[in-house]
Amino acid sequence: MSKLCSPAGAATPRWLMNRGAHIIVAAQADGDGAATAAKPARAKAVVSEPPAVAGGPELRTETVPIRGVALKIVENMEASLAVPTATSQRRIPVKLVDENRRLVNRHLRDHGGRKASYTHLIAWAIVRALAEFPQLNDGFGIIDTQPSRIRRESVNLGIAIDLEKKDGTRSLLVPNIKRANQLSFSEFLNAYDDVVKRARAGKLEIADFQGTTISLTNPGTIGTVASTPRLMAGQSVIIATGAIEYPAEYQAMVPAVLSQLGISKAITISSTYDHRIIQGAESGAFLARMHELTTSLPISAFPIRRCAGTSIALRFLRAPIRCTSSRRGRRA
């Protein structure tokens, strides 16, 4: 480490004493003008004063060491810079998604289950679409100095969870649902809610973060329309969902006018992928399949018995539904 020197007999300016987030340099001039060696910083925050600008206000800054989960995020973000990525986006109308969500929740309610959110359905669509595009679950690695594609049977779906601390700062945790492709829809819902609950309660374990193959993040919950998130090293794809909104130019209109114009809410879904093993056409086709899965034909498209229409719409869940022959189509 180089030394900072000041002219003989001159005191080192205070603002030079904190030139880095983790180093405090204390330069004390001796007889020949040489400064003493740099000393390691103490753990506590240090207030520094940058040089005053003529005619400007005096600025004071505080340096706070980054530790714990926040430090791990720093390390992951820096590691992600080594991953060459590209991004595909697709705009999906929400009208059919909303109708199918009502059908799904009616089915879950009748079978003693809980309600499914839009994010639940999108996460399940990722798992279902990977059955047809398994290469998007592959990883990249250097094996014996040879760049290699790593095929992975299990889908460990990472769920990005935004946590707000008491001081107003935020933290991001991404635990994963192990072997999501081997779960039924009900099991998947339970596993999803379990990792979220444990994340908010601070009860996650190291194993919950290990082995993630693909991730889902939902910045749309805070109004973000579209996002291009960072792809962590070792993962193949990260899917991001935006806010469910009318197009911005129509948001000031009353609902009756929007209905007459045929304007519906929509959501932007993006796929950011490792371009070493996944190509743009594959990413685009994957999003198209997600679109198809989340907007399966609604019940209104079938002028037949209600339960028969419901069973078609619920193919998305792979959940069998038994029907009676009554005119109301009640479930058996």
Distance CA 75, CA 69 (A): 10
**Residue numbers in the chain where pLDDT is lower than 50:** 2-9, 12, 14-42, 297-313, 319-332
Please say whether the beta carbons of 104 and 181 come within 8 A.
no
Instruction: Please give the C-alpha separations between residue 174 and each of 76, 128, 133, 232, in angstroms, as whole numbers.
Output: 11, 20, 23, 11
Architecture of domain 86-295: 2-Layer Sandwich (3.30)
Q: Give me Rg for the CA atoms of the chain.
A: 27
What was the pLDDT predicted at 44?
54
- Distance, CA of 176 to chain centre: 11
226 near 270, Cβ under 8 Å? yes
At 330 the three-state DSSP class reads coil
pLDDT score at 318: 55
What is the per-residue pLDDT across 213-234, written as a single tens digit (0 to 9) for each?
Answer: 999 999 998 888 998 999 999 9
Q: Please give the pLDDT value at position 129.
A: 96
- Where in the chain does DSSP place strands (E)? 23-24, 39-40, 46-48, 61-63, 85-93, 139-143, 146-150, 157-159, 161-164, 170-173, 176-177, 214-217, 237-241, 266-274
Among candidate residues 22, 107, 275, 291, the one labeled active-site is: 275
Per-domain residue ranges for the chain?
1-65, 86-295
Whether 275 is catalytic: yes
**pLDDT (tens digit, 9 = 90+) per residue, 87-102?**
999 999 998 888 888 8
